[in-house]
Amino acid sequence: MSIALDARVVRTRNALRQAMIDLASEQPLDAITVRAIAARADVGYATFFRHYTDKEALLADVADVLTGDFLAQVQPLLHRKDRRGAARSLCAFVESRLAIHQALIAGGAGETVRAGMLRQTLETLGRVRGAAPRGPLDDLLLFHLTSSILNLLAWWLHNRDHVDAETMAEIIERAVLTPVGAIGLRPPGGLDDGAA
């Protein structure tokens, strides 16, 4: 019985997340109501509150899932130290889910959602880098890498009419990934090849 219940919880949460993503492509974030989300997900209004305390909690969950999906996709590129490939993959991922990323990164999603995206990305990149941080510099560089990329994405989402995905990938690689890789996040005992 608990397996069936767990499957139902997963189905409901997936439906609510997809409803939020769909609605974000149709209207501004502040116009989306919990009632509209529940209706789109084909669940009862009260059911929404069994899963999320409010719309912002749902947005945070959507951000966590999207961030996790992207990081799983880009992890092989990071292991190969393919910075340009990672930047291209990021821009393509954002473009493929444009409306929700505009809401989460460049729109009115709020600091809580952005902080959650930053936290999850930092945790995942911390696992990917292999070596444990040697001190505050490594932690600071990882924080800088992640927050800089989020800031650049926010800028891009406001300027997409003038900057295409390939150009943005080059900007991310040249402005953030290469410099950060060149100055830090090295394993103990010496210099590496400059990869983050």
Rounded Cα gap, residues 196 and 181, in angstroms = 4
* Confidence band, pLDDT 50/70/90 cuts, at residue 146: confident
pLDDT in tens, 15-54: 999 999 999 888 888 889 999 999 999 999 999 999 999 9
- Same domain, yes or no: 30 and 63: no
- Same domain, yes or no: 133 and 111: yes
Q: Is residue 194 part of a domain?
A: no
- Same domain, yes or no: 62 and 157: yes
Of 95 and 126, more confident: 95
43: number of Cβ within 10 Å: 19
- Same domain, yes or no: 167 and 151: yes
pLDDT in tens, 83-99: 899 999 999 999 998 88
Domains in the chain: how many in total?
A: 2
pLDDT in tens, 151-178: 899 899 999 999 999 999 999 999 988 8
Domain enclosing residue 46, as ranges: 1-52
Q: Which of 91, 183, 92, 189 shows the shortest CA–CA distance to 142? A: 183
- Same domain, yes or no: 72 and 166: yes
Exposure string over 112-121, b if 16+ CB within 10 A, otherwise e: ebbebbbebb
Give percent of the chain above pLDDT 90. 36
Mean pLDDT of 174-190: 64
Query: Where do we find the tokens 């394993």?
Result: 187
Of 129 and 105, more confident: 105
Q: Is residue 190 part of a domain?
A: no
pLDDT of residue 125: 65
- Same domain, yes or no: 78 and 18: no
- Same domain, yes or no: 36 and 89: no
pLDDT at 194 over 60: no
- Same domain, yes or no: 48 and 66: no
CB 67 within 8 A of CB 121: yes
pLDDT of residue 116: 72
